[in-house]
Amino acid sequence: MSDSVKFGLVGYGSGGRIFHAPLIAAAANIEFLGVVTTNEERRRELAANLPAQAAFDSITALKEAGAEAVAISTPVTTHAELALEAIEHGLHVVVDKPFTLTADKAKEVVAAAKAKGVLLSVYQNRRYDSDFRTLRRLIDDGQFGTVRRFESRFERWAPERKPGAAGGGTLLDFGSHLVDQALLLNGPAVRAYAEVRGSGELDDDFFLALHHVNGVESHLWGSWRQGAPGPRYRVAGTTGTFVITDVDGQEAALKAGHCPAELGDEWGVEPESAWGRIYRGDDGTPVRSERGRWDLFYPAFAAAVRGEGPLPVEPSDVVRNMTVLDAARESARSGQAIRL
Q: Which of 67, 101, 123 is the last residue of a domain?
A: 123
Residue pair 128/293 in contact by the 8 Å Cβ criterion: yes
As a whole number, mean pLDDT of residues 271-293 equals 95
Let me know if residue 318 belongs to a domain. Answer: no
pLDDT beyond 60 at 173: yes
Q: What is the 3-state secondary structure (H, E, C) of the chain?
A: CCCCEEEEEECCCHHHHHHHHHHHHHCCCEEEEEEECCCHHHHHHHHHHCCCCEEECCHHHHHHCCCCEEEECCCHHHHHHHHHHHHHCCCEEEEECCCCCCHHHHHHHHHHHHHHCCCEEEECHHHHCHHHHHHHHHHHCCCCCCEEEEEEEEECECCCCCCCHHHCCHHHHHHHHHHHHHHHHHCCEEEEEEEEECCCCCCCEEEEEEEECCCCEEEEEEECECCCCCCCEEEEECCCEEEECCCCCHHHHHHCCCCHHHHHHHCCCCCHHHCEEEEECCEEEEECCCCCCHHHHHHHHHHHHCCCCCCCCCHHHHHHHHHHHHHHHHHHHHCCCEEC
Residues 196 and 254 in one domain: yes
User: Is 317 among the domain residues?
Assistant: no
Say which CATH number the domain at 218 has.
3.30.360.10
Asked, for residue 299, whether it belongs to a domain, the answer is no
Q: Are residues 136 and 278 in the same domain?
A: yes
- In-domain check, residue 220: yes
pLDDT of residue 2: 65
**71 and 132 together in one domain:** no
The whole-number average pLDDT for the span 217-221 is: 98
Task: Tell me: do 101 and 234 sit in the same domain.
Answer: no
64 plus 136 within the same structural domain: no
| Residue 118 scores a pLDDT above 90 | yes
Residue 283's Cα: distance from chain center in Å? 33
Q: How far is CA 265 from the centre of its chain?
A: 22
> Last residue of a domain, which of 98, 123, 148?
123
The total number of structural domains that make up the chain: 2
Cα 90 from chain centroid (whole Å): 24
- Evaluate if residue 44 carries a pLDDT over 80: yes
Instruction: Look at residue 163 and tell me whether its pLDDT is greater than 80.
Output: no
Statement to judge: residues 229 and 281 lie in one domain:
yes
Same domain, 207 and 171: yes
Q: Evaluate if pTM is beyond 0.85.
A: yes
Q: Does residue 307 fall inside a structural domain? A: no
Tell me the average pLDDT across 147-172.
87
Per-residue pLDDT, averaged over 233-258, amounts to 97
User: Domain limits at 218?
Assistant: 127-293+323-339
* Any domain includes 308: no
Statement to judge: residues 132 and 242 lie in one domain: yes
Give domain status of residue 289, yes or no: yes
**Each residue of 62-108: pLDDT tens digit?**
999 999 999 999 999 999 999 999 999 999 999 999 999 999 999 99
Q: What b/e readout covers 307-319, taking b as 16+ CB neighbours within 10 angstroms?
A: eeeebbbebebbb
Report pLDDT for 200: 62
Is 113 found in the same domain as 77? yes
| pLDDT-derived band at 268, boundaries 50, 70, 90 | very high
Quick check: is 302 in a domain? no
CATH number at residue 87: 3.40.50.720
Domain match, 136 and 285 both: yes
Last residue of some domain: 85, 104, 123? 123
Q: What is the mean pLDDT of the chain?
A: 95
- Do 106 and 133 share a structural domain? no
Give me the sheet containing 338-339, strands edge to edge.
Answer: 283-287, 276-280, 241-244, 233-237, 147-155, 217-223, 205-212, 189-197, 338-339
- Residues 330, 184 share a domain: yes
pLDDT tens across 47-74, in order? 999 999 999 999 999 999 999 999 999 9
